[in-house]
Amino acid sequence: MKTLIFAVPLLLPMMAWADDFKPPQTDAEKVADAVSAAPAAIGQDATVIDIDDKGNVRTLRQGKNEFTCIPDTPSTPGDDPMCVDPAGLDWTMAWVNHKDPPKGKVGFGYMLKGGVDASNDDSFAMEPSAGQPWLRTGPHVMIFNLGERPQGYPVQKHVEQVKDTSQPYVMWPGTPYEHLMIPVQ
């Protein structure tokens, strides 16, 4: 899916963005990758969905808890699965479908394998701007749809943010999709 490209903090040794990284292909590989985004207690019972490049959703596994996990986004150069709560899924699907996120629904998400994004400025960028690197982040959690931004979270343009993703910051500031990125290691 081309538009699910989440990301944050910098722990390169722990992340799979080597030149030989291969996105999961089979449903079993996608399920295993998706649930690796959250703590085992969450991932083992989560629903797993796959989203194609047109935003179509296919359930790979029905879960027993409230979380939904999504496997790696093949359009990025690293492994970036995520798991979100119901409000986080509403936010994610709004982003995938280029719609406004639902009002008044604060969401939460895990990306414990980290992630890779094309831009911290443009929430729909498919590649970094000319001469810019991918924004690579280490294991983190996300808080979506807060409404007002809390005081003290850095808001930086992509060119500054790629230098240090080890501190909490705002992803895609000034867009309807801005969210807090909070490193966990």
Task: Kindly report the pTM of this predicted structure.
Answer: 0.84
Residue 49 has pLDDT above 70, yes or no: yes
Residue 4 has pLDDT above 50, yes or no: no
R_g of the chain computed on alpha carbons: 15
Contacts of 51 (CB under 8 A, 6+ apart): 1, 4, 57, 58, 70, 96
Give the pLDDT confidence score for residue 9 in this predicted structure.
Answer: 31
Q: What gap in Å lies between CA 25 and CA 32, rounded to an integer?
A: 11
Tell me which of 73 and 16 has the higher pLDDT.
73
Q: Give the H or E element holding residue 92.
A: helix 86-96
Give the pLDDT confidence score for residue 157 in this predicted structure.
Answer: 66
Q: Please write the tens of the pLDDT for every residue from 98-108.
A: 999 999 999 99
Residue 16 has pLDDT above 50, yes or no: no
For residue 162, what pLDDT band results from cuts at 50, 70 and 90? low
